[in-house]
């Protein structure tokens, strides 16, 4: 069940910390709250892959190739990060978000941004119960003109879904990589356990030759 604005307000002020939703800071509730969503703002932290320092992305090669060198940019609130056509960058929400173990969240772009060709996530549009941290944006400009992105602008919206409490909140998962992180946090896909299997098979094959 998707929460409406009154149900979300109840969760934001709930007396039981185990059931409370945290979104902070909320700068202007009149601007940010919709009927079944709350807008979140773009932070000041951006990361872009330094393509000059990587030949390709291969998660089996460890951190250097799976999480390539990324240039970090801290953009002042009165300046813009320019995302050129076809470019991809990581950004992060200004807000810190924490959800209890009976709430999941969908991250959606605002239609105003979609209409100018800005995508705010590639695949990571879902937030598991028990998550805590800032929301990472996978920013992609699919238009034919550069887009100026200013920190503090409302760039995405969160929709909250109530369910029964999970027995495995996100922060307690064995292979959790992004719990509690803030800022634009790069991929750690190379830590996925299936790549350990591939590396071991490669090593065994090399030893047998």
- Where in the sequence numbering do the catalytic residues fall? 138
187 vs 200 pLDDT, higher one = 200
Task: Tell me the C-alpha distance between 137 and 183, whole Å.
Answer: 10
Name all domains of the chain by residue range, CATH numbers in brackets.
5-208 (2.70.40.10)
Using the predicted structure, report yes or no on whether residue 66 has a pLDDT greater than 50.
Answer: no
Enumerate residues 6+ apart whose C-beta is below 8 A from 50: 68, 69, 70, 71
Task: Tell me the C-alpha distance between 15 and 31, whole Å.
Answer: 25
91 vs 54 pLDDT, higher one = 91
181 vs 4 pLDDT, higher one = 4
Q: Residue 177, annotated ligand binder?
A: yes
Q: Is the sign of the CA dihedral 123, 127, 133, 134 positive or negative?
A: positive
Average pLDDT over residues 24-37: 95
Task: Tell me the C-alpha distance between 97 and 106, whole Å.
Answer: 12
CB neighbour burial string for 101-122, b if at least 16 within 10 angstroms, e if fewer: bbbbbebebbeebeeeebbbbe
Q: Residue 114, annotated ligand binder?
A: yes
Banded model confidence at residue 63, pLDDT cuts 50, 70, 90: low
Task: Tell me the C-alpha distance between 85 and 127, whole Å.
Answer: 28
Q: Residue 199, annotated ligand binder?
A: no
Taking the model in full, what pTM does it have?
A: 0.82
Enumerate residues 6+ apart whose C-beta is below 8 A from 194: none
Banded model confidence at residue 64, pLDDT cuts 50, 70, 90: low
66: how many CB neighbours lie within 10 A of its CB? 20
Backbone Cα Rg of the chain: 19
Enumerate residues 6+ apart whose C-beta is below 8 A from 193: 175
Q: Residue 112, annotated ligand binder?
A: yes
Closest Cα partner for 73 from 109, 48, 100?
48
2 vs 169 pLDDT, higher one = 2
């Amino acid at each position: 069940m998707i929460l409406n604005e009154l149900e979300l307000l109840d969760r934001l002020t709930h007396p039981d910390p185990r059931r409370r939703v945290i979104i902070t800071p909320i700068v202007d509730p009149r601007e940010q709250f919709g009927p079944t969503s709350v807008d979140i703002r773009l932070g000041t932290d951006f990361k872009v892959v330094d393509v000059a320092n990587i030949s390709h992305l291969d998660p089996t090669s460890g951190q250097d190739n799976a999480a390539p060198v990324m240039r970090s940019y801290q953009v002042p609130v009165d300046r813009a990060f320019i995302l050129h056509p076809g470019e991809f960058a990581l950004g992060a929400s200004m807000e810190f978000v924490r959800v209890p173990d009976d709430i999941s969240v969908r991250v959606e772009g605002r239609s105003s941004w979609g209409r100018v060709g800005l995508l705010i996530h590639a695949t990571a549009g879902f937030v598991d119960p028990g998550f805590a941290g800032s929301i990472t944006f996978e920013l992609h400009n699919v238009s034919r003109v550069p887009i100026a992105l200013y920190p503090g602008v409302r760039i995405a919206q969160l929709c909250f879904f109530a369910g029964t409490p999970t027995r495995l909140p996100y922060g307690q998962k064995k292979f959790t990589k992004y719990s509690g992180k803030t800022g634009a946090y790069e991929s750690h896909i190379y830590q996925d356990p299936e790549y350990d299997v591939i590396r071991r098979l490669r090593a065994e094959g090399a030893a047998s030759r």
